[in-house]
Chain A
Amino acid sequence: MPMVELLERLGAFILDGILALGNFVLFLFRSVLYALLPPYKPRLTLRQVRIIGAESLMLIVLISTFTGMVLGLQGYHTLHLFGAEDSLGTLVGLALVRELGPVLAALMIAARAGSAMAAELGSMQASEQIDALTVMAINPLQYLVSPRMIAGVVSFPILTVVFNVIGIWAGYLVGCRLLGASGGAYFNNLAANLTRHDIALTLYKALVFGVVVMSVCCYKGYHAKRMATGVSRATTEAVVLSSVLVLAWDYFMGSILL
């Protein structure tokens, strides 16, 4: 009976998917709830802000510099065809603030801090350190996951703003100082076309991406299988899934909020 077996497998696959999604939503809900309830963990949270935020700063500076430079270069040559070099500031600025800033910052933090987080929680799970917390009547979600969620919500918007500012500056450097577009027009046009709505959008996106990346990476690490391959698999899945979700959410938020 291959047909029945096929249907059985399909059903099991769908049920597993729904179960995993339900578990994830519960995990997210609980870790947000425990972040709001005492006892608060300010020290642990600050430590995570340092690990996720401060230690990602150099990477963000590097990536945003090159992104801005590429935008300046390609934008200049394209706009030059139409004699519209003066719009370069608008092009670079809007591309960064609306899309590239929050998305690339989130992808970079997922690759750097999210993977480390999934591996750390995964190995804690594998060596029963999470169970050790539980038997001491310490809520592992509140102790391990909630501080990371808060740190993500704090760090992502700040790093995104840094990304945008440096990217715009790097675009100016290449487009105006190197290739000869007008610097005054670059910033004037940018200031005229960049609205508060755009800035709000970049911050909304950064906030949502912060929650998405942190919750997916923590969830994957927290539920790693108790073996060496379990940890490596959790790390890979955490980065892949959070990257895909960031891009998917980016499209949804863009289409709703733009």
Chain B
Amino acid sequence: MSFEGNGTTAANAIEVRGLKRRFDRQLVLDGVDLTVPTGTITTIIGPSGCGKTVFLKHLNMLLRPDSGSITIDGIEITRLRNRGLDAVREKFGMLFQAGALFDSMSVLDNVSFPLVEKTNLAPEQINRRVHQTLAAVGLEGMGAKFPSELSGGMQKRAALARALVTQPKILMLDEPTTGLDPTRTGSIHRLVRKTQQDFGLTAVVVSHDVPEVFSISDRVAFMHRGKMKLVGTVDELMASGDEDFKQFLAGRAAGDDLENDQVSS
């Protein structure tokens, strides 16, 4: 599967090498390596506080690393600033853990916001695309509501619509299904899979919904103590026999996993 979008497309949408990041005295990312092939869904799983969200926020330079390299579509981005960085960020759509909808705007304005600000589309085109996207996440007719009037799950879907509406090349989803009921979780997963197939985009998903999220994952990365301990297909991870991974799946957190809990966001 390849994406024929604007510009050239590298075989690997994301390549991360030796990424390190320290907060005060705590080493949250301790040399992370990860390769995400273009047009695939890679899911990052791991105990709370192991640095998943911090890692995700490095991919579009929301946080800057202490050392290491991040290559997006063949471009090394850790030294980029201003316009160069904006050009890379425009390839991304991001769903934040808590949605991060603009609470002073209606759902409709939230979803159309990136199109109004960053594209030259005509208002009717924007309108059409916003309504299509809202329908895709099951929020048709909810456009006039404000984020505070929506349930947590609906807020998440509205935020997902905002991340999808620009038709990004790379989609980053930080816990897209946390707090949703099993039916909604399934429908969000199917939506992510369908969007990924329709647009051939690359997706990085951070999730706690194990094993449900495996159904949409081409590859899974198991993050443990600031490193990607295991990366591969679901079957490869299951066959690895890694003790930490087994413990994680069984829901038995080892005692020392809890000491990093305060840096989960």
Q: Could you say which residues of chain B place their CB within 8 Å of the CB of A226?
A: 265
Does B196 make an interface contact (CB < 8 A)?
no
Does A132 make an interface contact (CB < 8 A)?
yes
Contact among A127, A128, A129, A136 for B89, CB-based, below 8 A? A136
Does B98 make an interface contact (CB < 8 A)?
yes
Cα–Cα, bound, A138→B82 (Å): 10
Decide if A127 touches B114 in the complex (CB within 8 Å): no
Q: Could you say which residues of chain B place their CB within 8 Å of the CB of A128?
A: 96-98, 100
Does B66 make an interface contact (CB < 8 A)?
no
Please judge, given known A-B contacts A127-B103, A129-B103, whether A135 and B92 are in contact too, CB under 8 Å: yes
Does B121 make an interface contact (CB < 8 A)?
no
Q: Could you say which residues of chain B place their CB within 8 Å of the CB of A134?
A: 62, 89
Decide if B117 touches A135 in the complex (CB within 8 Å): no
Q: Could you say which residues of chain A place their CB within 8 Å of the CB of B265?
A: 226
The 0/1 profile, CB within 8 Å of A marked 1, for residues 65-104 of chain B is: 0000000000000000000011101101010111011110
CB of A34, distance to nearest CB on chain B (Å): 11
Decide if A132 touches B96 in the complex (CB within 8 Å): yes
Give the one of A128, A129, A131, A137 with max B CB within 10 A. Answer: A137
Please judge, given known A-B contacts A127-B103, A131-B62, whether A136 and B96 are in contact too, CB under 8 Å: no
Q: Could you say which residues of chain A place their CB within 8 Å of the CB of B94?
A: 132, 135
Residue of A nearest to B174 (CB): A128
Cα–Cα, bound, A138→B116 (Å): 11
Cα–Cα, bound, A134→B117 (Å): 12
Residue of A nearest to B60 (CB): A135
Task: Give the size category of B's interface with A.
Answer: 20 to 34
CB of A26, distance to nearest CB on chain B (Å): 14
Does B118 make an interface contact (CB < 8 A)?
yes
The 0/1 profile, CB within 8 Å of B marked 1, for residues 123-164 of chain A is: 000011101101111100000000000000000000000000
Q: Could you say which residues of chain A place their CB within 8 Å of the CB of B86?
A: 137
Q: Could you say which residues of chain A place their CB within 8 Å of the CB of B113?
A: 136
Cα–Cα, bound, A1→B6 (Å): 63
Cα–Cα, bound, A129→B97 (Å): 12
Q: Could you say which residues of chain A place their CB within 8 Å of the CB of B98?
A: 127-128
Decide if B118 touches A138 in the complex (CB within 8 Å): yes
Cα–Cα, bound, A145→B101 (Å): 19
Q: Could you say which residues of chain B place their CB within 8 Å of the CB of A131?
A: 57, 62, 96, 100
Residue of B nearest to A134 (CB): B62
Please judge, given known A-B contacts A129-B102, A129-B103, A131-B62, whether A137 and B118 are in contact too, CB under 8 Å: yes
Give the one of A131, A134, A136, A138 with max B CB within 10 A. Answer: A136
Give the one of A129, A134, A135 with max B CB within 10 A. Answer: A135
Please judge, given known A-B contacts A135-B94, A137-B118, whether A127 and B62 are in contact too, CB under 8 Å: no
Decide if A129 touches B100 in the complex (CB within 8 Å): yes
Decide if A136 touches B100 in the complex (CB within 8 Å): no
Cα–Cα, bound, A88→B265 (Å): 62
Task: Give 17 pairs: A residue, B residue, CB < 8 Å, sorted on A.
Answer: A127-B98, A127-B100, A127-B103, A128-B97, A128-B100, A129-B102, A132-B96, A132-B100, A132-B102, A135-B60, A135-B62, A136-B117, A137-B85, A137-B87, A137-B118, A138-B117, A138-B118
For the complex of A and B, list the 10 residue pairs with the smallest distance between their C-beta atoms, beginning with the closest.
A128-B100, A137-B86, A132-B100, A137-B89, A135-B94, A136-B114, A137-B90, A128-B96, A129-B100, A135-B60
